[in-house]
Chain A
Amino acid sequence: KAGVTQTPRYLIKTRGQQVTLSCSPISGHRSVSWYQQTPGQGLQFLFEYFSETQRNKGNFPGRFSGRQFSNSRSEMNVSTLELGDSALYLCASGRLAGSTYEQYFGPGTRLTVT
């Protein structure tokens, strides 16, 4: 079974631009979550989508948005990029395992804002 895939793997953008990142979950997984990882703030939850609906949202400004398609693929968008948005963005695909959910992470997209 293929794992979680994220595209692109690396991205360089300029302040003020916008960016779209893509995540394809493991086949059959309906939950997709996004996380931002930085050296200063660590791993922070952005949002989660389940069956095309946003089910949870973290404490990020409205510049960060996402969506999920009917095939469970998800995209996240960051508008008006700031230098502080430079980070590794991780996508996680979730599945029911017994009475809990397990989340499997993709390799991440490294975003650099200059």
Chain B
Amino acid sequence: AQTVTQSQPEMSVQEAETVTLSCTYDTSENNYYLFWYKQPPSRQMILVIRQEAYKQQNATENRFSVNFQKAAKSFSLKISDSQLGDTAMYFCAFMKSRAAGNKLTFGGGTRVLVKP
């Protein structure tokens, strides 16, 4: 079974600064997908960024970027130029290849607080 670990329960960052969230996972699969989801206090889960394991290039979405290290099974999220609206729980998630269906395995989450 796959496991996803987020070792930082909470992090705080000053507005406009950069914060990096860590995520490690354990799997014997070669093809899989990794995601970061954001859950603001309103509770609506939002997809932030995704990465296909077969792609070497790290994914980027505006101020959000990942550092994907397949051999180390590490998938960190960097939030640049942090904004107050980035305050939320962030979840790292793993999904096996599409043929296995759409089951996400989540990490325990990291609470990010952006301070003005």
Partners in one complex: yes
Q: Are A48 and B44 in contact (CB under 8 A)?
A: no
How far is B45's CA from A108's CA once the two chains are assembled, in angstroms? 9
Chain A residues 4 to 62 lying within 8 A of chain B, measured CB to CB, are: 31, 33, 35, 42-45, 48, 50, 55-56, 58
A103 with B43, Cβ < 8 A, contacts A48-B103, A55-B101, A56-B101 known: no
Other-chain residue from A50, A55, A103, A106 in contact with B47 (beta carbon distance below 8 A): A103
Task: Place the interface of chain A in its size category.
Answer: 20 to 34
- How many A-B pairs fall under 8 Å by CB? 66
Q: Are A58 and B50 in contact (CB under 8 A)?
A: no
Instruction: Count B interface residues, CB 8 Å.
Output: 23
How far is B109's CA from A45's CA once the two chains are assembled, in angstroms? 15
Chain B residues 85 to 104 lying within 8 A of chain A, measured CB to CB, are: 91, 95, 98, 100-104
Q: Residue of A at shortest CB range from B42?
A: A107
Chain A neighbourhood of B100, CB < 8 A: 56
